[in-house]
Structure 1
Amino acid sequence: MSYPNQNPYGQPQGPQPGYGYPQQQPSPYGAFPGGGMMPGAPAPYPTVMPGGVKAARVMLFVLAGLNLIGLVGAVALLGSVSKASKNTSEYASSDSIMAMNFGKGLLIAAIVLIVIFTGAAITLGVQFANGGSGVRVGAIIFGVANTLISLMTFPIGLVHTALGVMIIIFVSKDDGTAWFNRPRY
């Protein structure tokens, strides 16, 4: 039996069960026409560490390694200055002795600063995987302090300056903010 005005190779006429528009899945971001996110709705939280955050983490570990190399050099220099100050003649001027003592004090301060920055870089880098917004703020503060101190030793500290600025940028981006503000269950 054939029905008039019906093409067996065309689209079916009228509503058919199981045919028509595909069923839309409910959106986890709220009902908005088109199935997308509502304007102004917060971005979904990432489940994998974004590339910029991974890069900032690697830069923290690189800075820690460079600091360890600098620590070895500073300790060796302190040893040589101490040895030189012990080998001074008894006829040396008080200005040269005072300069050596000032140099030793400056090197000791630099060693303490290097140890603090190395420990902070390693601690922050390790905490990137599970840390919250405090780790993000700590990384930004570390980047600023690292940049400011490395500017004092500009030609030598150029790598530290560049890495400090890049850490600040990568951690402050939107994907970095979303990573550190994600819910941890």
Structure 2
Amino acid sequence: MSFGEPNSPYGPPPQQPAPGYGYPQQPPQGYGGYPAAPPVQHPGMGYGYPPAGPAQMPGITRAAQIMLGVIALCHIVIAAVYGDALANWDQTMLEAGITGDAEAERYADLGKGVVVFFLSLAAVFAILGLVLLLQYAKGGNGVRVCSIVYASFAIVSGIFALGIYLLGLLIMILAILVIIFAAKRSSAEWFRRPRY
């Protein structure tokens, strides 16, 4: 048999064009045979895929950070008011005529313990608020979750502080706004952004 015979099992190999010539180009295949998403052009970045998170803190997240700072400042003022009450406690009890009676002094000491508790609670809330405030720029999603939890407890502390120059009402309003702003999608994207 010769090489040129049409029925030869050793005939010439079939001629195939080189890949990419003469055939339509297929789009790149994604998962499951579906076409992959086309690249998107972003301003100032050229072609590629969108960035994973915002480069600058969104305004609503900045507002939550500022409100968190105001809540912490209110707790500092509340701690100062309780500290002043504690410093003048003995003088106030003396003026009220409580000294000398053992039963009355026991209740006065109990009241002093309550003031010390509220002073400590306000100081802890102020410190926690300041720590969260400083973590907003570089913190992760845990800062956002802690802000929501902190604001929830701040609502309760605001109820106890209603009598102090209406600071409790201000704390409750700001705490509700912090919860709303920190729960927004733009805030979640800010705290979940990649950090290089």
1:104-133 CA-to-partner distances (Å, cap 9, x unmatched) read: 101100111011100010000000000001
Larger Rg: 2
Pair 1:47-2:45 in alignment? no
List gaps (5 residues or longer) in structure 2.
Answer: 1-35, 42-49
Pair 1:159-2:170 in alignment? yes
Same amino acid, percent of matched pairs = 28
| Residue-pair matches, total | 152
Point out the more displaced range, 80-89 or 147-156. Answer: 80-89
User: Would the aligned equivalents of 2:52 and 2:194 in 1 still touch at CA under 8 Å?
Assistant: no
Q: Normalized against structure 1, the TM-score is what?
A: 0.72
Alignment partner for residue 180 of structure 1, among 165, 177, 191? 191
List gaps (5 residues or longer) in structure 1.
Answer: 1-29, 37-41
Equivalent residue runs for 1:1-185 within 5 Å: 31=37, 44-85=52-93, 92-154=100-162, 156=166, 157-185=168-196
| Distance change in 2, residues 1:31/1:101 (3 Å) | same
Aligned mates of 2:99, 2:182 — CA distance in 1: 57
Aligned mates of 2:96, 2:162 — CA distance in 1: 32
Q: Normalized against structure 2, the TM-score is what?
A: 0.68
Aligned mates of 1:176, 1:90 — CA distance in 2: 54
1:6-63 CA-to-partner distances (Å, cap 9, x unmatched) read: xxxxxxxxxxxxxxxxxxxxxxxx7259x69xxxxx9841111011110111011111
Q: CA deviation at 1:83?
A: 3.0
User: Would the aligned equivalents of 1:82 and 1:104 in 2 still touch at CA under 8 Å?
Assistant: no
Q: What letter corresponds to residue 97 of structure 1 in structure 2?
A: E
Q: CA deviation at 1:99?
A: 2.1
